Amino acid sequence: MLENIGLLLAGLVILIVGGELLVRGASSIALRLHLSPLVVGLTIVAFGTSAPEMLISIKSALAGSPDLAMGNVVGSNICNLALVLGITTIINPVKVQGTSLKIDWPMTFGASVLLYLTAQNGLITIWEGICFILILIAYNWYIIRRSRRETKAMKLLEEELDIPAAPSKHLWKDLMFILIGCIGLYYGAEWFVGGAQSLAVYLGVTERIIGLTVLALGTSLPELVTACIASFKKETDIALGNLLGSNIFNILSILGVTSVIQSVSVSDAILEIDMLWMLGITFLVFLMMLHRRQIFRYEGIILLGIYFFYTYLIMF
């Protein structure tokens, strides 16, 4: 039991550190090539921060554990909008920007509905994965084009994406960061998934439960830390944008790439229970966003309560 938990935690730490090093090195090289900070943020930074979840999903699918892969994505999305947003709002009420209401939320809900519809036959195929990736590329292209027309929007987006200001002084350091980051992501995913599979067997629960709880919570920790820091700084509009953006990337990028490499099967329980919870929570957040363009503390408590109630239902 302790060995499984140790493997899980070690894998998670290495995944997070590996993802951070990969982002740092790749972003610096991209800035050397004179790519705009916004493009770097929407491609390398966004992809790099999703790399731990992606590696876990790919490894799970290839290891014959599709419920871990799908549970990780669906569970992370539920965790982001119920647990993370709930805690963020309790710290400080969340302001809702027009772009979050008009662009980010519709895209988040649209991606969630698309996943639900494509999963109806119990399988996410290579062609559906390609479709997910193409939609993500079109979405990023739209954001870049729109932000370039609006200086204010571009500055805000660059803040959200945590883009480095300039490349590092030494190219060899960038290459070393990329190499170490890739190695860390590979072995971190190997240990994390192995620990999760062993823990499921030890506890006598399904891989779906582990994916929706342990994996989802573990891979949502970076979002939780980022959102809480933003909330303490009273930059809650940035926190909301990050969470919605994370959910879009989880579906279109992680499941897109994973299903291109290996078709991902979807269990009836995830389709008929967990995805409906994901859709319901996403819609509830929209109603909260509409209410006076602010999500209040009592609504954060409601979101937190929903997350714990959902977790209780699937566990017992």
SS3 of the chain:
CHHHHHHHHHHHHHHHHHHHHHHHHHHHHHHHCCCCHHHHHHHHHHHHHHHHHHHHHHHHHHCCCHHHHHHHHHHHHHHHHHHHHHHHHHHCCEECCHHHHHHHHHHHHHHHHHHHHHHHHCEECHHHHHHHHHHHHHHHHHHHHHHHHCHHHHHHHHHHHCCCCCCCCCHHHHHHHHHHHHHHHHHHHHHHHHHHHHHHHHHCCCHHHHHHHHHHHHHCHHHHHHHHHHHHCCCHHHHHHHHHHHHHHHHHHHHHHHHHHCCEECCHHHHHHHHHHHHHHHHHHHHHHHHHHEECHHHHHHHHHHHHHHHHHHHC
With 70 as the cut, is the pLDDT of residue 165 above it? no
Rounded Cα–Cα distance for residues 196 and 174 (Å): 32
Average pLDDT over residues 73-79: 94
Point out the least confidently predicted range of 12-16, 150-154, 188-192, 250-254.
150-154
Between 2.30.30.60, 1.20.1420.30, 3.50.50.60, 1.10.10.10, what CATH number should domain 2-315 receive? 1.20.1420.30
With 60 as the cut, is the pLDDT of residue 109 above it? yes
Rounded Cα–Cα distance for residues 38 and 163 (Å): 8
With 60 as the cut, is the pLDDT of residue 157 above it? no
* Per-residue pLDDT band at 12 (split at 50, 70, 90): confident
Residues 6+ apart with CB under 8 A from 272: none
Rounded Cα–Cα distance for residues 275 and 291 (Å): 25
With 60 as the cut, is the pLDDT of residue 18 above it? yes
- Whole-number pLDDT of residue 300: 96
Average pLDDT over residues 160-183: 73
Where exactly are the structural domains of the chain?
Answer: 2-315
CB 111 within 8 A of CB 252: yes
The overall average pLDDT reported for the chain is 83
Of 252 and 56, more confident:
252
- Whole-number pLDDT of residue 42: 55
Of 115 and 41, more confident:
115
